[in-house]
Amino acid sequence: MIATIAKRFTFDAAHHLPTMPEGHKCRRPHGHTYEVEIVVRGQVPPETGLLLDYAHIATAWEHLHDLLDHRNLNDVPGLEVPSTENLVAWIIAGLKEARTGGVYSQVWNLLERVRVRESSTTWCEMTKVEWMAFCGPNA
């Protein structure tokens, strides 16, 4: 059987969007409580009945949370323009590049997509396949 599971996390951070026009509210420094959803999908092993332990997703997210939480996202390397689109791509890259082996490889191998909510009404989502097409074959 194929299943899709997800785990949701939050972090608080400030940012500004320097590419927005002068006078646009998002060009000014402001903050959000971001919500990140990491979604994995795959074949459920019949011997365990579990696709993946949710704690493994939490472990894979933990180091990224530490880099983002209560930070100015513009100061995070790779997020100089911290739009939700760039943030989603940065998180997927972080899930791939963070560590190899163990739970990190399990999460990466099963990763379907990441969704980031900037507010209760706005979000951006990218699949691993879309990210790999964007980043090229060496991603």
Looking at residue 13, which CATH number applies to its domain? Answer: 3.30.479.10
Q: Give residue 134's pLDDT band: very low, low, confident or very high (50, 70, 90).
A: confident
Instruction: Domain count for the chain, please give it.
Output: 1
- pLDDT at residue 87 greater than cutoff 80: yes
Q: What is the pLDDT of residue 28?
A: 96
Mean pLDDT for 35-62 is: 97
Give the domain extent around 117.
2-135
Mean pLDDT for 21-46 is: 97
Q: What is the pLDDT of residue 97?
A: 83
Q: Give residue 67's pLDDT band: very low, low, confident or very high (50, 70, 90).
A: very high
Catalytic residues, which ones? 26, 70, 118
- The DSSP annotation for the chain comes to -EEEEEEEEEEEEEE--TTSPTT-GGGS-EEEEEEEEEEEEEEPPTTT--S--HHHHHHHHHHHHHHHTTEEGGGSTT-SS--HHHHHHHHHHHHHHS--SHHHHHHHHHEEEEEEESSSS-EEEEEHHHHHHHH-TT-
Q: What is the pLDDT of residue 55?
A: 96
pTM of the predicted model, to two decimals?
0.94
